[in-house]
Amino acid sequence: MTNTTQSFKVAVIGAGPRGISVVERTLAGYLALPEQDRPALDIAVIDPFNPGPGHVWRTGQSRLFLMNTPCLFPTVVPAGATAAELPASPSGLSFDQWRMLMADTAAGVELPAADREELAGLTPGSFPSRAVYGRYLEWTFARLADAALAAGVALRHVRSEVLSLTRPETGSGWSLEVAGEDPLDADAVVLALGHLPAALSADQDRLRDAADRHDLRYLPPAVPSDVDFSVFPAGNRCSSADSDSTFSTS
């Protein structure tokens, strides 16, 4: 039975791979405690995007955007030799293990037809789409939610952006200002914010200026699925000046 005389509130800001990995390890550590030592635990995961995929791994993006790692490698839970030394995972599968589970029709897991079709063509060495990796992350978060519910842990997703984080004038912990929501308080806060918008570097700034002067277009580094590539008319030559920016010589 949970020790209801103690309670602990955790706020995880950012629900991409790192955020849900923190949730997974927190739950694993919690479940490893003797039941009578478990405090009442409340975990709020705050992100304007779906928990698991977050911003980068959205399941609705074009399947032309691929991961740069083959199926065999990525995982959001401990896998391989490391896993044996750590508290057991309540969700449990690496991407490749999940891929094989999904291929097993006897497992009876519902999946959109486009995901099934893509997964059927993948091998451990092939590169999955970001969308299907997002589906794995979404599935993992759903398993974590089931495990939390079964253990009496309050795990919820707040679909919003955290605007500020302050120490309350009295007491301990943190107060979170959340866009369009009541403030949240927490004993511990995890920042799992991923890549934040950044100012252009000097080189990128020069490229943008040159593009402006010559009536060309320069798109700065961004998450590709956020970018409207239709600004480049068909047939134009495009080149990538660095890994993530795009330059059009119209």
Ligand X SMILES: Cc1cc2nc3c(=O)[nH]c(=O)nc-3n(C[C@H](O)[C@H](O)[C@H](O)COP(=O)(O)OP(=O)(O)OC[C@H]3O[C@@H](n4cnc5c(N)ncnc54)[C@H](O)[C@@H]3O)c2cc1C
- The residue ranges that bind ligand X (CB under 6 A) are 13-19, 46-49, 54-56, 67-69, 161-162, 192-195, 223-224
Pick 55 or 99: Cβ nearer ligand X? 55
Pick 173 or 224: Cβ nearer ligand X? 224
- Residue 136 backbone zone (phi > 0: left; psi -120 to 50: alpha; other: beta): alpha
Nearest to 216 by CA among 200, 232, 234, 202: 232
Pick 179 or 238: Cβ nearer ligand X? 179
Query: Nearest approach, Cβ of 192 to ligand X (angstroms)?
Result: 5
Distance of CA 178 to the CA centre of its chain: 19
Pick 49 or 247: Cβ nearer ligand X? 49
Q: Mark out the alpha helices in the chain (DSSP H runs).
A: 17-31, 81-84, 95-103, 113-120, 130-151, 202-213
Query: Nearest approach, Cβ of 177 to ligand X (angstroms)?
Result: 10
Query: Nearest approach, Cβ of 133 to ligand X (angstroms)?
Result: 8
Query: Nearest approach, Cβ of 34 to ligand X (angstroms)?
Result: 31
| Through-space distance between the first and last CA atoms of the chain, rounded to whole angstroms | 68
